[in-house]
Structure 1
Amino acid sequence: MDAPREQYWAALSRGDRAGALQAVKQLHQQGRTHLEIIDEVLVPAHERAAGLWLAGEWTAERQRTATSINEGLVHWLCSFAPPPPSDRPLVVVATVEREELPALVLAEGLGAAGYRTAFAGGGAAADDLLRQVLTRRPRALLVSAGRTSSLARLKPLLGHLRATGIPVVAGGAAFGGDPQRATAVGATAYADSVRDVLTLLEQLPRRLPTRTPEPPSPADLEAAWLTDFRHEITPYVLRALAARHPAARRPRWWAELEDHVDHVLGCLAASLVTGDETIMVEVREWLTRVLDARGVGPGLVAEVWELLAVPLRGHPLARAHLAGSAAPRSATDGGQTDGLTTV
């Protein structure tokens, strides 16, 4: 097992799809099941690649290539799984993000347990997902979310789904292991693993009492505004940062900064819809860690927070959540930010 696993990692590291496929084929020919290969090779490789990006050793493009290879091979491996009986309950598995791997692994785990699954691809439009659920009338909808910044988009969708009475189970890294985040965005329950999902599918009623979606709260309205205008706020922050830091001093990771700022805005919307201000503390710590691994002092994070506050005038709840996560400046730094320390 070790040799093919290392062969797979070596191929993945250099973005070699053919080499990765050959390693997986070798494991399959040795008698390893598709779930064993996914759990013991592909998932650990996915987590290893994510860790290398976080540590600044891989670029975002290199990690995306590895993710694409992993997802393609999960699809290929799953084609060998025998279909569950046609009379078994149907479960729709969806993700609101482009990255599909966690949701694919969940779907295969349910299939191995005897459930029929329908997979709604990454980034499925809300209307399409709602239409699919209403048409198929599944036992439940399982929603996987890996990025906390996607939670605000879930709340209106899950509100409409709850009105159908179909149970919704949510899980993934976006919830930080906190069931309250899941129920705050409208999920019936939270699951931390495939085993948890299987237990819930046995326990939850087949249909819940239908409930009319509640009108949006002031926090929901501010979150919706953030979601609608992220595409304008993010470029504003990037332009302001670029004006402060001349092009000659910008490091190679600068191109990733747009996604980081957009992620912070999404997390701000998520903190509003869940009422969980620790989300902003967590994303500030995350961004600090990402930039620190790339040799950047904490001053750039402070600049991002300062610039984000400007377009939030007139949105007091968003400003309060943002300000609540701002780290106090040291009395010894004279109030100055560190800026970029690498080129």
Structure 2
Amino acid sequence: MDRARVDYWTALRDGDRPAALAAIKQMRDTGRTHLEVIDEVIVPAQEQVAGHWLAGEWTAAQRQVATAINEGLVHWLCSFAPSPPADRPLVVVATVEPEELPALVLAEGLTSAGYRTTLVGGDGVADDLLRQVLGRKPRALLVSASRASSLARLKPVLRHLLATGVPVVALGAAFGGDPARATAIGATAYAASLEEAVVLLEQLPRRLPTRSPEPPGPAEVEAAWLGEFRHEITPYVLRALAARHPARTVDGMQPRWWAELEELVDHVLGCLASSLVTGDETIMVEVREWLTRVLEARGAAALVQDVWEVLALPLRGHPLARVHLAGSAIARGTADGGQTDGVATPA
């Protein structure tokens, strides 16, 4: 098992799909179940992948290739799992994130617990979810979110499901272990683990009282605006950063990690929208700390302050968003000994 684990990691590092598959087959030949391989090898390997990228040791492209290998092999391993009987309850697992590995692992865990499971993700998830819920009438919907920036996208999706009465259980790192974030986006309950989710599925009523969604409040309106214009705000921030730091170019070429800034800034914008829809300003504190770690590893920690300053400019006219943005800068400054980062709180 240890040799196969080493071989698997080497294959991930090299982006070698055939070698990764061979290592997994070797583990299967030693008698390991598909769940043991997923839980003991693939999930920890994915955490290593994320750690190497965070430390600046891997590029975003390397991370994406390794993640795709992990996802593909979870699909392959799950093909060996026996299907639950047709009379067992159906649950739907949903994710709005491009990386589906956490949702895949959750779905397989529920299948092993005896639930028939359908996974919904990718583009058009809102329409697909509504069709699944209305057409198949599942026991419950489980939403998987690893990134806090996903919460703002989930809230309008869940709003449309209120009238169905289907219970919704939220799981994933995006919730930060806080049930309040889950209920704020419209979930019925929060589960910190697969085991807790299984218990909840036994305890929750089969159907909840149906209710009409409340109209969006001011914070949700601002969050929706951010979602609509992220594709314009992100390039604006990148141009402003490049203008502020022309010395970072060498012979007209930007450093290799500069290409990752688009994804980083877009994630910050998504977290700002999530902070608004949940009313949880700690989301912005957390993402600022995370961005600081990422850019420190790339020798560019000073860019964090610039991102916050530049981002405040297109948010004029959106006072709640500016408050959440400025609040995270103040919190960071207080933690550093009372020095703020120069992002003024709007009057």
TM-score band w.r.t. shorter chain:
over 0.9
Q: Distance in 2 between matches of 1:321 and 1:119?
A: 34
Cα distance, 1:237 vs structure 2 = 0.5
- 2:318 is matched with which residue: 303, 309, 315? 315
SS in 2 for 1:325: helix
Q: Distance in 2 between matches of 1:122 and 1:115?
A: 22
Task: Name 1:233's counterpart in structure 2.
Answer: 233
Kindly provide the CA deviation profile for residues 282-337 of structure 1, in whole angstroms up to 9, marking residues without a partner as x.
0000000100011123x211110000000100000000000111144999x9x99x
Cα distance, 1:268 vs structure 2 = 0.3
Task: Name 1:203's counterpart in structure 2.
Answer: 203
- 1:287 is matched with which residue: 291, 299, 313? 291
Cα distance, 1:67 vs structure 2 = 0.3
Task: Name 1:341's counterpart in structure 2.
Answer: none
Cα distance, 1:122 vs structure 2 = 3.8
Task: Name 1:250's counterpart in structure 2.
Answer: 254
Q: Distance in 2 between matches of 1:85 and 1:137?
A: 17
Cα distance, 1:121 vs structure 2 = 3.0
Is this contact kept in 1: 2:158–2:187, CA < 8 A? Answer: yes
Q: Distance in 2 between matches of 1:35 and 1:202?
A: 22
Q: Distance in 1 between matches of 2:212 and 2:282?
A: 29
Identity of aligned residues (%): 74
CA RMSD of aligned residues (A): 1.7
Task: Name 2:268's counterpart in structure 1.
Answer: 264
Q: Distance in 2 between matches of 1:145 and 1:207?
A: 23
Is this contact kept in 1: 2:107–2:117, CA < 8 A? Answer: yes
SS in 2 for 1:96: coil
Cα distance, 1:244 vs structure 2 = 1.7
SS in 2 for 1:223: helix
Q: Distance in 1 between matches of 2:133 and 2:21?
A: 34
Q: Distance in 1 between matches of 2:287 and 2:226?
A: 16
- Show the 5 A alignment for 1:104-123: 104-123=104-123
User: For residue 323 of structure 2, what is the amino acid of its counterpart?
Assistant: A
Query: Taking structure 1 as the reference length, what is the TM-score of the superposition?
Result: 0.94
- Show the 5 A alignment for 1:27-38: 27-38=27-38
SS in 1 for 2:160: helix
Q: Distance in 1 between matches of 2:124 and 2:18?
A: 28
Task: Name 2:306's counterpart in structure 1.
Answer: 303
Is this contact kept in 1: 2:120–2:128, CA < 8 A? Answer: no
1:187 matches 2:187: yes
Task: Name 2:153's counterpart in structure 1.
Answer: 153
Is this contact kept in 1: 2:96–2:122, CA < 8 A? Answer: yes
Q: Distance in 2 between matches of 1:59 and 1:213?
A: 42
Kindly provide the CA deviation profile for residues 117-155 of structure 1, in whole angstroms up to 9, marking residues without a partner as x.
011134552112211211111000011011111111111
1:84 matches 2:84: yes
Q: Distance in 2 between matches of 1:44 and 1:157?
A: 30
1:103 matches 2:106: no
Is this contact kept in 1: 2:100–2:121, CA < 8 A? Answer: yes
Is this contact kept in 2: 1:164–1:210, CA < 8 A? Answer: yes
Query: Taking structure 2 as the reference length, what is the TM-score of the superposition?
Result: 0.93
SS in 2 for 1:86: coil
- Show the 5 A alignment for 1:10-159: 10-159=10-159
Kindly provide the CA deviation profile for residues 38-96 of structure 1, in whole angstroms up to 9, marking residues without a partner as x.
00110010001101111111111101100000000000000000110000000011111
What is the total number of aligned residue pairs between the two structures?
A: 334
Is this contact kept in 2: 1:168–1:188, CA < 8 A? Answer: yes
User: For residue 285 of structure 1, what is the amino acid of its counterpart?
Assistant: E
> Tell me, which stretches of 5 or more residues in structure 2 are unaligned?
343-347
Is this contact kept in 2: 1:170–1:182, CA < 8 A? Answer: yes
Task: Name 2:345's counterpart in structure 1.
Answer: none
Q: Distance in 2 between matches of 1:210 and 1:4?
A: 51
Q: Distance in 1 between matches of 2:124 and 2:43?
A: 23
Is this contact kept in 2: 1:94–1:122, CA < 8 A? Answer: no
SS in 2 for 1:163: helix
